[in-house]
Amino acid sequence: MKKRYLNDPNFVRSKKSKKKIVYSVIYYLTGTALSLLFILPLLYMLAASTKSEAAVATSNGTFLMFIPDFTNLSVFFDNYAVVFGERYHIWTYAINSLIYCLVVIVLNTLVNGLAGYVLAKFHFPAKGFFSFIIIFLMVVPVETSIIPLLSIVQDLLHLNKGFFSIIAIVIPSIISVFNIFLYTQFFSSIPKEYEEAMHIDGAGRVRMFFNLILPLSKPIVATTAVFTFIGVWNDYVWPSLVVDNRGTSGWPLYPIQYAVNIITSSDGITTGQVMAALVITTLPIFILYVAAQKYIVKGFGTAGLKM
């Protein structure tokens, strides 16, 4: 039927459809341009990590600076060998960061999820006040709380001694007012009939949370887990203030960003070695975000229904 109308000499394409085509072209061209703008630094980082210092200097200013050097495969992974080698041992710092991330993600999900569940499903005095405090704290810069938090950790909790200093990395990262806000919005969208059905079966609040609410909240759990991972993985200032390496038998307690700072400030370091370290720190975040992208979009979409 459509082809018959298109072949009709009296058929005239509407101005609306032409305008829609123009908007679509502009939309995709703009999106492509912005995508290239953001991806070019990543391509340069990946390409430079496979080159010697002379090759990096030669290719700078040309299109070759964004392409890995496949012509000299003998030095393709030399920069990574140096970063992983005896001088820097970046893999030990990466293991530390992975452990910190996993511990914080589990505790963060439990604590913030329970707080969001209480605010979304419970009715108690001053509930509106607590909700206001959470929204207010979201706009307070984290930097303003570093000095008071450091005093609490060192003077009250005494968590700046040897191995126990790593606890000081985990405890402040457990609470996130932004994650509490996301959980509250998402849990509010879950129909209360589900809870009533479980209540009839004799389930309590704790069982409802773990057997009903969390399984239905995979998108928001994945979203907060990704953001928590990125926050802990990229954290440098706080661990450098509280971690103490004394008594660790040579194994560093610092996270991977501390190793990157050591590498970038070392004498005789090359551009390729710096880029190799940055690739190593960026790759886990990239893989995690790609794997959880579907859940992140769904989580924000559902959480926004109640905003």
The domains found in the chain, sorted by start residue, are: 2-72 (no CATH), 85-306 (1.10.3720.10)
Measured CA distances, 201 to 187, 190, 196, 224 (Å): 21, 18, 9, 31
**Strand residues in the chain grouped as ranges (E):** none
Reading the chain (307 residues) residue by residue, the pLDDT tens digits are 545 544 555 545 555 577 888 888 898 899 888 888 888 888 899 999 888 888 888 888 888 888 887 777 777 888 898 898 877 889 999 999 999 999 999 999 999 999 999 988 888 888 888 888 888 888 888 878 888 888 888 777 777 666 677 888 888 889 889 899 989 988 988 888 888 888 888 888 888 888 888 888 888 898 899 989 999 999 998 888 888 765 455 678 889 999 999 888 888 888 899 999 999 999 998 888 888 887 777 766 665 544 4
Q: How many CB atoms lie within 10 A of CB 122?
A: 9
Identify how many contiguous H helices and E strands the chain contains and give both numbers. Answer: 16, 0
User: How far is the C-alpha of 51 from the C-alpha of 16, rounded, in Å?
Assistant: 52
What are the structure tokens assigned to 190, written together?
Answer: 């879950």
Over residues 189-203, the pLDDT tens digits come to 888 888 888 888 888
User: How far is the C-alpha of 120 from the C-alpha of 187, rounded, in Å?
Assistant: 6
Query: Which pLDDT belongs to residue 307?
Result: 42
User: How far is the C-alpha of 242 from the C-alpha of 260, rounded, in Å?
Assistant: 18
